[in-house]
Amino acid sequence: MIIAVDGPAAAGKGTLTRKLAEHFNLARLDTGMIYRAVGLKALKIGDPVDEKVAVEAAQLLSFDDLDQQGLRDEAAGNAASQVAAIPAVRDILLKFQRNFAANPPNDKIGAVLDGRDIGTVVCPDASYKLFILASPEVRAERRYKELQERGEEAIRSAILRDIIDRDERDRSRTVAPLEPATDAEVIDTSDMDADAVYAAALNYISSRM
């Protein structure tokens, strides 16, 4: 059982995939954390937009990097979007993601993957595909509150601009642009709470079982 959950930042993918993983006894992989980890590593080496730097960072990536501090920071998010636009980086990380889906750890019965191109590129044959979205304004407000709760300083207008810029990069890249798979169930979470999103996802999955 493989569930692909795609969508832009702060749309609600993380909360949904955690609930789905628990409900169906699936291994969960937040693929955005992989790219954030590579982005952070690239920042330490040099410039994330430099292909040689980004590829080196991807090649050096380890599981331990997925637990490091700073992965949720805006700098990591922006760097992630930059390295994700580089085809060679995506090729390296694609193998990791597909192996996780095909061989879920800890005796799980399947996997749920949270990302940008799971249903279109990583797992095009996934059993179930969801595309979660929300307006940039709603996503910026969610991110603002998240940062406040962590005690970090945040400016709403700056967060909104970062989200809009990141969306544009993700949608316009030549490799695996951000878009729903043709057979994905699209859920707009702008006016929904986490429980409503989860209910909608379960309804879609159960209807296809």
pLDDT digits (tens, 9 = 90+) for 64-91: 888 888 998 889 988 998 998 899 998 9
Lowest mean pLDDT among 118-127, 131-140, 148-157: 148-157
Count Cβ atoms below 10 Å from residue 190 Cβ, excluding itself. 13
* Residue ranges covered by each domain of the chain: 2-208
CA angle 107, 34, 91 (to 5 degrees): 95
Whether the predicted pLDDT of 188 surpasses 90: yes
**9: confidence class by pLDDT, cuts 50, 70, 90:** confident
Q: What number does CATH give the domain 2-208?
A: 3.40.50.300
Return d(Cα 19, Cα 114) in angstroms, integer. 12
State mean pLDDT over 158-181: 87
Q: What percentage of the chain exceeds 90 in pLDDT?
A: 70
Which strands make up the sheet holding 111-115, listed edge to edge? 27-30, 111-115, 2-6, 128-133, 185-188
